[in-house]
Amino acid sequence: MKPTYFYQLLFALFVSSTAFAAENKATEPVIISGTKFTYPLIERWIEEYTKIYPNANVKLASKAATAQHVDLNVIAHQPTKDEMTDNQEILYAGQYALLPVTNTNNPILPAARKKGLNKKEIDKLFFEVTSYDDDPAIKEKQKFVATIYARDNQACTSKALAGYFSHQSSEIRGKKVLGDDIYLLSAIKRDTTGLAYNSLGYLYDTNSRKLKDGIALLPLELKKDTKELLTGNLDNVIEVLERNRVETIPVEKIGFIYSQQTSRKEVADFLKWVLTDGQKFNHAEGFLHLDKQFLAEQANQLNGRFLSLK
């Protein structure tokens, strides 16, 4: 690096860091971090919440600042005990659905459309059956030639997907995509044999409510009425998935992990709003509502936990 550039960079770093320090003297923001595919919904909640409470200061965590304190961690799978410390609790605020998707030019689509894939076939396609793969005698023959794309094994959607099919995420076949679930769609668009599971919020254009270009839902073995609704717009899909359980479509909750020790009133206020007024934005961003009774339980849990807050 030439000295000139180094001094430019040093200057910029100095200016920016002093400026951040100045801002930090204002109200401590509520920092939210977590699985990225939920960010559109979280951002929407923050945006709408800030409209009503202009003094509120809620932010998504800065990626650059890895050591940053986080008040709320968004999680989109059932956490194990190891993933939560003793004083942490989880509050659920919505659901999402994962649908199998492929490239519109995937050659298997015509055959698959005749009779959609059932759970067993999906299981076989997406997960390694045994570790005997090197032995042709035991290798299970695949119905279709496919390249499976999935997030890394630690990602929420990989854990949710694998858990739904009673597997470990390490048993998901194929290639891994890092960063964000949105890139699964990029991979599918580049590979005509690509298959992936992805969430509604990414699969559909949340403005036009239509499936995004270049991708097609993998035909599933479904009842006729369900099938029709699933091929409709985003609202139709949300409607059918909130009403029925479809065995080939995992539906999982999203929640906020918070710490009892470090919670503040600002955090509680935001969460209360999310569980009440904020719910009306779930559908808009491609997320499902929680069951009403379960939602009420969450609200009660929140009230109980934060009663002592001043």
Partner 1 sequence: MAKLLLISGNPKRFPKFLVCKLGVLFLFAVFISTATYAQQVEIRGKILEENSKATVIGATIKLKGQQTGTVSDATGDFRLKVKSLPVTLDVSTIGYKSQEIDVYEAGPITIYLDENQNKLNEVVVVGYGTQKRKELTGAISTVPKSSLSQLSTSFDNLLGGAVPGLNVSESSGQPGATSSIRIRGGNSINAGNEPLYVIDGIIVYNDNSSTQIGISRAGGALNPLAAINPNDIESIEVLKDVSASAIYGSRGANGVIIITTKSGKKGKNNVEYQYSIGSQQVSKKLDLMNAKEWGQLYLELASAQNISESGLTASKVAQLGEGTDWQSAALRNALTQNHQLSISGGDEKTRYFLSGSYTNQDGILLNTNFKRYNGRFNFDRNLSKNFIVGLNVTASNLDQNGLSSYTGLYTNGVSNSLDYVLRIPQVVPIYNEDGNFNYKNLFEKGDLRLGDKTVNAISDLANDVSETKNNSVIGNFYAKYTIIPSLVAKISVGTNLSNTTQNYYAPSSSAAGFLAKGYGSVGNKRSDSWQAEYTLNYTKKVNEDHYFDVLAGYTTQTTNIEYSTAASSNFSNEQLTYHNLQGGSTFLAPTSGGAESILNSVLGRLNYSYLRRYNLTATLRADGSSRFAQNHKWGYFPSVGLSWNINEESFLKSIKAINDLKLRASFGTVGNQEIGDYQYYSAYSTTQNYSFNNTLVTAYAASNAANPNLKWEQTSQYNLGLDLNLFNYRLGFVADAYYKKTTDLLLNVPVEVTTGLSSALENVGSLTNKGLEFSVTGGIIETKAFSWNVSANIAKNINEVTSLGNLTSIINGNTIIEKGQALGTFYGVVFDGIVQTKDNLTKVPKPSWKTTVEPGDVKYVDQNKDGNVTQDLDRVVLGSTQPDFTYGFSTTLRYKSFSLFASLQGTHGNKLYNSLRQSQESPSLDYNVLATLVNRWTPDNPSTTIPKASVTSSTWLDSRYIEDASFLRLKNITLSYLLPVRIDKATSTKFKVFVTGQNLLTLTKYTGYDPEVSSGIDSGAYPSAKTFTFGVNIAY
State the residues that interact with partner 1 by CB under 8 A. Answer: 5-6, 8-9, 11-13, 15-16, 19-20, 23, 36, 39-40, 43, 59-64, 66, 80, 130-132, 135-139, 141, 149, 152-154, 168, 170, 174-180, 182-183, 186-187
Q: How far is the CB of 225 from partner 1 (least distance, A)?
A: 29
Contacts of 53 (CB under 8 A, 6+ apart): 269
∠ CA 256-257-258, rounded to 5°: 110
Q: Contact 74/222 with Cβ under 8 angstroms?
A: no
* Identity of the residue, 154 or 308, whose beta carbon is nearer to partner 1 in the bound complex: 154
Tokens of 160: 């949710």
Tokens of 172: 């998901």
Question: For the chain, how are helix, strand and coil distributed in percent, rounded to 5?
Answer: 45, 20, 40
- Going by C-alpha positions, the residue among 99, 79, 63, 56 that lies closest to residue 278 is 56
* Identity of the residue, 159 or 253, whose beta carbon is nearer to partner 1 in the bound complex: 159
Tokens of 5: 């550039």
Q: How far is the CB of 64 from partner 1 (least distance, A)?
A: 6
Q: How far is the CB of 3 from partner 1 (least distance, A)?
A: 11
* Identity of the residue, 186 or 236, whose beta carbon is nearer to partner 1 in the bound complex: 186
Euclidean distance between CA atoms 125 and 150, whole angstroms: 12
* Identity of the residue, 19 or 111, whose beta carbon is nearer to partner 1 in the bound complex: 19
Q: How far is the CB of 259 from partner 1 (least distance, A)?
A: 21
Q: How far is the CB of 248 from partner 1 (least distance, A)?
A: 17
Euclidean distance between CA atoms 282 and 106, whole angstroms: 31
* Identity of the residue, 86 or 293, whose beta carbon is nearer to partner 1 in the bound complex: 86
